[in-house]
Amino acid sequence: MAEPTVTVTRRGADRFTAGHPWIYRSDLASDPRLPGGEVVRVLDQRGWYRGRAFYSSKSQIALRLLTREDEPCDRAFFQRRLEAARALRLTTFGDADAWRLSHGEADLLPGLVVDRYGDYLSVQLLSQGAEARRELFRDVLQDLFQPKGIVERSDAKVRLLEGLDQKKGVLAGEVPDRVEYHEGPVRLLVDL
């Protein structure tokens, strides 16, 4: 099956060129009539490749940029992105055991927010594209971190704009009522 293609207006193409990670529905040249959550090739009206993005069928943010390169957005792609995010945090935070691993678009992982608390991860899937890859993200996070547990906290109201229900629960492993982590010499407990 051919990868879906979405054509953007000149204004939409200019947004991508200027570095903006989103394309609004009003900047699509036509309605692609997709269910939502797909990775799509983004073309301008001349047919020139602009990148790949998550497509949302419900939100006014129709496209969320994944890459400007002509590369597949498969498991290996998302694993490389999460490894790069981890490397940045390890450089920045050193031996701290609590930090934000993925901050959505800031890490070119639109709609995926992941926080680390000691041996546990908390995940938010905030876009149709991230939601469609729930199991993929869970599996990659397990492979990279071997957490004792992963909790999903996809109960943010922004999911409603994506046409998604709010969810929370355990994605993998077991998560206790309270998780311990440290900030310097201070021991903290958090309810994930």
For 122-173, what is each residue's pLDDT tens digit? 999 999 999 999 999 999 999 999 999 999 999 999 999 999 999 999 999 9
CA of 112: how far to CAs of 70, 107, 108, 177, in Å?
A: 22, 9, 9, 24
188, 180 Cβ separation under 8 angstroms: yes
CA of 178: how far to CAs of 94, 96, 149, in Å?
A: 24, 18, 12
Percent with pLDDT over 90 in the chain: 90
Q: Which of 24, 58, 54 is nearest to 38 (CA)?
A: 54
CB environment 83-114: b (16+ within 10 A), e (fewer):
eebbeebeeeeeeeebbbbbebbebbbbbbbb
**pLDDT value of position 190:** 92
**pLDDT value of position 182:** 86
Which single residue is written with the structure tokens 């000691």?
118
Residue ranges of alpha helices (H) inside 27-176 are: 75-93, 128-132, 134-145, 158-161
Compute the residue count for the chain.
Answer: 192
Q: Look at residue 94 and tell me whether its pLDDT is greater than 90.
A: no
**pLDDT value of position 1:** 64
Q: Average pLDDT, whole number, for the chain?
A: 95
Residues 131, 69: Cα–Cα separation, whole Å: 23
| H or E stretch at 7 | strand 5-7
**pLDDT value of position 95:** 77
Residues 85, 99: Cα–Cα separation, whole Å: 11
Cα radius of gyration (the chain): 18
Over range 28-42, report the average pLDDT. 96
DSSP state of 3: P
| Residue 34: φ, ψ to 5° | -110, 155
